[in-house]
Amino acid sequence: MNFKQLATKYKTPLYVYNLDYMSERYKELKEAFKGRKSILAYAVKANSNLSVVKHFGDLGSGADCVSIGEVRRALLAGIPPYKVIFSGVGKSDDEIREAILSDILYINVESEAELFRVEQIAKELGSVSRISVRVNPNIDPKTHPYISTGLHDNKFGVDIDSAKRMYVLAKNSTALDPVGIHFHIGSQLTHLEPIYESAVIVADMVRSLLAIDIELKFFDIGGGLGVTYDKEVTIKPYDYAQAILGAIKGLDLTIICEPGRFLTANAGYFLTKVLYEKQNGDKKFVVVDGAMNDLLRPSLYNAYHKIEALVEDKSKTKVVDVVGPVCESGDFFAKNYELPEVKRNDLLIIHSAGAYGFGMGSNYNTRGRSAEVAVKGGEDRLIREREEFEDIIALEKEFI
């Protein structure tokens, strides 16, 4: 991709997505489960642009959604309802009602209280709601604490005993149809052992449910496969699939996998231009036109993103903080980062920005969110326009 041409054509700050790379990752993971009934349900929260969701839908993907807005996005993008899953700890009555009426594959239930609400709403609608239960296996995923979800300290899912009780309640209900079981222990997972241990625990529970005549159809293993941002050693899709298949040996279940970051992170680039260089004492700063409202991960997680300067002479380097214009000391893309000498209007490419980039953006400091561009087969197209001031204030009421 010619990033300089894209920056000139669409201006900066700018997100650029390589759809061909996304296709390769999708096919690699799908191939790993070859020979076994499986559905890849793209985790929409990773990158919810409609063109991205449709791209995966065209490849045969389903959709893992964590809000009714994401359910609507998936359906609008052409994902069949029977491949859409609705997860999330805090679903409102209106969201549950709409999910049932949309006849999606199932609602992923995360507490007994939620199970009762789904049952009550289904009864009011004169319907039967397909459900799965999210089990929290209490396994340490060995990842950042903000994206750990499989421990009892985390808000997600229910323990084994509670899950069994919920399945019995669902089995005996005229308004609920328990069809699946789900676990997801965290994001950016780079160790296979916690995933395998969790799968074994949940598969053993499936066997115990069979013993009391509760037969499930779907074994939802969540997502979370890690990617390389810097020097991480990641899990090979084949090894991942073999671990899951080993855990459920002897069970006739359709595997559902919910990849997000794995598919999109390294397909995305954030382009930003240098505004100024400045120095405070011994500290050197490179100030760019992108900011934490565009790409929050470095500020939120202290996450590492490779930064590449598109300059001809890279022989002279210096250690700098790469910072944005937002009025916060937390507005940075990197600290103490070695970059070549740069000057005003030089272009910086921030790599691995295709997951949890634009979607976590905001209008903080009344800054419009970046434009988004997709590249496929060497052709580029605008898939989301840059926000202008008028877009930001459009829903605000006139001051009285």
> According to the annotation, is 258 in a ligand binding site?
yes
Rounded Cα–Cα distance for residues 296 and 129 (Å): 37
The tally of CA atoms less than 13 A away on the side-chain side of residue 77 is 28
126 is in an annotated binding site: no
Among all chains, which residue has been given the structure tokens 């499930």? Answer: 216
Establish whether 57 is an annotated binding residue: no
Angle between helical axes of 68-76 and 50-58 (0-180°, round to 10)? 60
Is 260 marked as a binding-site residue? yes
CA torsion through residues 156, 69, 95, 262, sign: negative
| 269 annotated ligand binder | no
Catalytic residue among 211, 233, 327, 400: 327
| E strands present in 44-158 | 62-65, 84-86, 106-109, 129-134
Instruction: Using the CB atoms, write b or e for 79-109: b if 16+ within 10 Å.
Output: beeebbbbbbeebeeebbbbbbeeebbbbbb
- Which residues make Cβ contacts (< 8 Å) with residue 214, sequence separation at least 6? 167, 168, 171, 178
Distance CA 35, CA 46 (A): 27
297 is in an annotated binding site: yes
Please indicate if the annotation marks 26 as binding a ligand: no
Label the pairing between strands 254-257 and 268-280: unpaired
- Token pair listed for 162: 């509670």
Residue 356, annotated as binding a ligand: yes
Task: Provide the token pair at 88.
Answer: 């999330």
Cα-to-chain-centroid distance, residue 366: 25
* Those residues with Cβ within 8 angstroms of residue 74's Cβ, 6 or more apart along the chain or in another chain: 44, 53, 57, 63, 65, 84
**Cβ contact 311:346 at 8 Å:** yes
Q: Please tell me whether 157 is known to bind a ligand.
A: no
* Token representation of residue 381: 């197209």
User: CB–CB of 299/332 below 8 Å?
Assistant: yes
Active site residue 327: yes
**Which residues line the annotated binding site?**
224, 258-261, 297, 301, 328, 356
Looking at the annotation, which residues are catalytic?
327
Binding site listing for pyridoxal 5'-phosphate: 224, 258-261, 356
Residue ranges for the known binding site for substrate are 261, 297, 301, 328, 356
